[in-house]
Chain A
Amino acid sequence: MKTSVHLKLNKRQWLQILCRTSSILGGGWFLFEQCIMDVLVRVFPKGDERCFKLFNKLGQLLTVCLFLAFYSTRIFAESKLLPDEVQIHGFLTQGFFHTSDNNVYGQSDDGISPGLTEIGVNASYQPFSKLRFAAQGLYRRAGAVDRGSVRVDYGLADLTLFEYDSGKVGIRGGRIKNPFGLYNETRDVAFTHPTILLPQGIYFDRSRSLMLSADGGSFYAEQRTDFGDFNFKFNVGMPSSDLKEIKTIVLAKQNAQGSFDTKPAFATQLNYELNGGEYVLAVSYMDMEFDFNPAPGESLRRSTSRIQPLLFSAQYNGEKFTLTGEYEYRWNTFGNFAAFDGGKFVSESWYVEGSYRILPELQTTVRYDTFDMDISDRDGETAALLSFQKHSAFSQDWVFGLRWDITPSWMVRGEYHRVHGTAWLPQADNPDPQKGIQDWDLYALQLSFKF
């Protein structure tokens, strides 16, 4: 009965769907064909032409399939064919980068790299009032760090244990995003944060896979009071063990062959919001441990490393003005540095960001963020002893950005960074750690769509 009601789609709606799809598909195709060719040329710099042509065709095919899948999902979600208990949403983001020196998201130095693509589709299904299932698939391509892969971003069952007049308590199980600061849980969703690049000292792209999510369980509690809403989360689980991006840093050695094994980690957050999110305060803490297992014959020793970040967040969300600040204090123990104070050191990072809405859909942002790998080595003297460049121990970044929400579904933004230091440069995009340039500029442009 219900389905037959939902099936009714009039001509106007079909036409609308058709028009929207064809225009978006056309634009998207061109964009993605360029990106895929760009990747291929980089992967096979000496490949012959016939090979390229074949890959080009394959790339186009894959792109079209991906796009068709994305848009058919979107159309399906909007077609009213689904019962209200099922919700489907998604997003698509393409970024372009240019740098004066050093590389981010591909070959951005002396060129423009379309190296960051994020496509996500999620579904939520609520069969009973206390039980909900949710999952999100994410395709991500990020320069040389990730040549393009699809993974389950989250996939969980959410059970409300009890709900009372002013709050609720529940548990989640499965792959769950780690609550950390204001943005970690939605760091890949462009619409949910103000700038293209999040403050890298806290939201490192390098340690993204370690911090992003964990396979395990979570306990949560929400309490509404007359003086604000409290939200508590405690997650325990196994993070991803794909840690190749931090290998060189953790081991102080290039091209190590061994592998990492993560141990169960926990992440917890207490969040306080006043007046529906006008004021937000949060404290987050994570504890992550991982072992390094050297490859046979490798001179490195077996060791355990540990990272424990503590993060304080504050935000004011006004009608025109938004002010955000976060401060991170991170304890590190890197097993391979046992000779240096047991490999223990503390990292520090903070940022202050102000945004102003000139119009409701036009927002300017200014941010200053700073990061010190080791607070007892702010100028990088010790890093130099370990044969890193001095400026890889710190970074200070001034950001100026402009965001335009063209419609509630489409957004475009651009930003300029003036960076002093190379502490957060991706390893894969900058394979030679001796070739970093201390002072550099970064320009970025991003187009994003969500439904």
Chain B
Amino acid sequence: MTLDNNHGDFKLQKLRDNKPNFGIILAVIFIFTAFPPVVTAIEIVVNKTASTSGYSKVDIRAIFTMQKRLWPNNKQIKVYTLPDGSSLHKEFVKKALNMLPHQIRRVWDRMTYSGTGAAPIELESEQDMIEKIATTPDSIGYLNSKPDNENIRSFEAQ
């Protein structure tokens, strides 16, 4: 009993000694508001019907620039993206496609407004993306992390 109490007092004392420094907290808060944490994890996700193996980074770029239109089983790839302003979208384009957001926008706009192709379908939020990928066969998109949904699989590039 006594020992336990002593131990507790000791812990309390230690906590008091390490009283949080409000300056540091403020600084951290400031830094986080000034520079929102950068999304680092990008997960390319597909509907469970899509095949997920044997693709390279080059193939992923070809899929999202709408050049590669078919899965190996000859089903059309249904491509979904997030708005240009979304930080996840920007990260995805830079990290997964090795392109810049304005470069891929140029490719999509040229197709859309010249009639030579159809750009991916833009969804409003990550929640929409989860719903869309889970319910659309042959679909592909991207998220922060793989959701806990049996209809969605991760897409790994070799």
B30–chain A nearest beta-carbon distance, Å: 22
Bound-state Cα–Cα, A155 to B70, Å: 24
Binds B, one of A118-126, A289-297, A420-428: A118-126
Q: Which residues of the other chain, A, contact B84 by a CB distance below 8 angstroms?
A: 408
Indicate with 1 or 0, residue by residue over A289-331, a CB within 8 angstroms of chain B CB atoms: 0000000000000000000000000000111000000000000
Q: Are A360 and B113 touching (Cβ within 8 A)?
A: no
Bound-state Cα–Cα, A450 to B108, Å: 13
Interface residue count on the B side (C-beta < 8 Å): 37
Indicate with 1 or 0, residue by residue over B81-103, a CB within 8 angstroms of chain A CB atoms: 00111000000000001111111
Q: CB of A407 within 8 A of chain B?
A: yes
Indicate with 1 or 0, residue by residue over A101-144, a CB within 8 angstroms of chain B CB atoms: 00000000000000000001010101001001011100000000
B94–chain A nearest beta-carbon distance, Å: 9
With contact pairs A192-B109, A277-B106, A277-B107 given, residues A224 and B114 touching in the complex (Cβ less than 8 Å): no
Q: Are B83 and A317 touching (Cβ within 8 A)?
A: no
Q: Are B115 and A360 touching (Cβ within 8 A)?
A: no
- Which of A89, A163, A189 interacts with B70 by CB under 8 Å? A163
Q: CB of B67 within 8 A of chain A?
A: yes
Select from chain B the residue with minimum beta-carbon distance to A155: B115
Binds A, one of B5-13, B18-26, B41-49, B57-65: B57-65
Binds A, one of B31-39, B116-124, B145-153: B116-124
- Which of B62, B70, B100, B114 interacts with A185 by CB under 8 Å? B114
Q: Are B113 and A91 touching (Cβ within 8 A)?
A: yes
Select from chain A the residue with minimum beta-carbon distance to B83: A408
Q: CB of A160 within 8 A of chain B?
A: yes
Q: Which residues of the other chain, B, contact A224 by a CB distance below 8 angstroms?
A: 58, 62, 67-68
Q: Which residues of the other chain, B, contact A222 by a CB distance below 8 angstroms?
A: 67
- Which of A84, A87, A226, A229 interacts with B119 by CB under 8 Å? A87
Select from chain B the residue with minimum beta-carbon distance to A319: B100
Bound-state Cα–Cα, A450 to B65, Å: 20
Q: Are A192 and B106 touching (Cβ within 8 A)?
A: yes
Q: Are B85 and A407 touching (Cβ within 8 A)?
A: yes
Q: Are B69 and A84 touching (Cβ within 8 A)?
A: no
Interface residue count on the A side (C-beta < 8 Å): 45
Q: Are A276 and B103 touching (Cβ within 8 A)?
A: yes
Indicate with 1 or 0, residue by residue over A259-280, a CB within 8 angstroms of chain B CB atoms: 0000000000000000111100
Q: CB of A177 within 8 A of chain B?
A: yes
Q: Are B110 and A186 touching (Cβ within 8 A)?
A: yes
With contact pairs A87-B121, A192-B110, A224-B67 given, residues A135 and B115 touching in the complex (Cβ less than 8 Å): yes
Q: Which residues of the other chain, A, contact B114 by a CB distance below 8 angstroms?
A: 154, 177, 185-186
Q: Are B115 and A276 touching (Cβ within 8 A)?
A: no
B90–chain A nearest beta-carbon distance, Å: 9
Bound-state Cα–Cα, A206 to B109, Å: 25
Q: Are B78 and A129 touching (Cβ within 8 A)?
A: no
Q: CB of B74 within 8 A of chain A?
A: yes
Q: Are A129 and B102 touching (Cβ within 8 A)?
A: no
Q: Are B106 and A317 touching (Cβ within 8 A)?
A: yes
A278–chain B nearest beta-carbon distance, Å: 7
B25–chain A nearest beta-carbon distance, Å: 31
- Which of A120, A185, A276 interacts with B98 by CB under 8 Å? A276
Q: CB of A156 within 8 A of chain B?
A: yes
Q: Which residues of the other chain, B, contact A192 by a CB distance below 8 angstroms?
A: 106, 109-110, 113
With contact pairs A84-B78, A277-B107, A407-B85 given, residues A120 and B113 touching in the complex (Cβ less than 8 Å): yes
Bound-state Cα–Cα, A186 to B109, Å: 9
Select from chain A the residue with minimum beta-carbon distance to B107: A277
Select from chain B the residue with minimum beta-carbon distance to A183: B110
Q: CB of B52 within 8 A of chain A?
A: no
Bound-state Cα–Cα, A84 to B137, Å: 12
Bound-state Cα–Cα, A226 to B58, Å: 9
Q: Are B113 and A189 touching (Cβ within 8 A)?
A: yes
Bound-state Cα–Cα, A185 to B113, Å: 8
A61–chain B nearest beta-carbon distance, Å: 29
Q: CB of B154 within 8 A of chain A?
A: no
Q: Are A122 and B113 touching (Cβ within 8 A)?
A: yes
Q: Are A317 and B118 touching (Cβ within 8 A)?
A: no
Q: Are B74 and A132 touching (Cβ within 8 A)?
A: no
Q: CB of B51 within 8 A of chain A?
A: no
B123–chain A nearest beta-carbon distance, Å: 10
Q: Which residues of the other chain, A, contact B106 by a CB distance below 8 angstroms?
A: 192, 277, 317
Q: CB of B144 within 8 A of chain A?
A: no
- Which of A160, A176, A317, A408 interacts with B69 by CB under 8 Å? A160
CB-based closest 5 A-B pairs: A129-B76, A185-B114, A408-B84, A134-B115, A276-B99
Q: Give 7 CB contacts A-B under 8 Å.
A: A129-B69, A129-B75, A172-B116, A229-B67, A275-B99, A276-B97, A276-B103
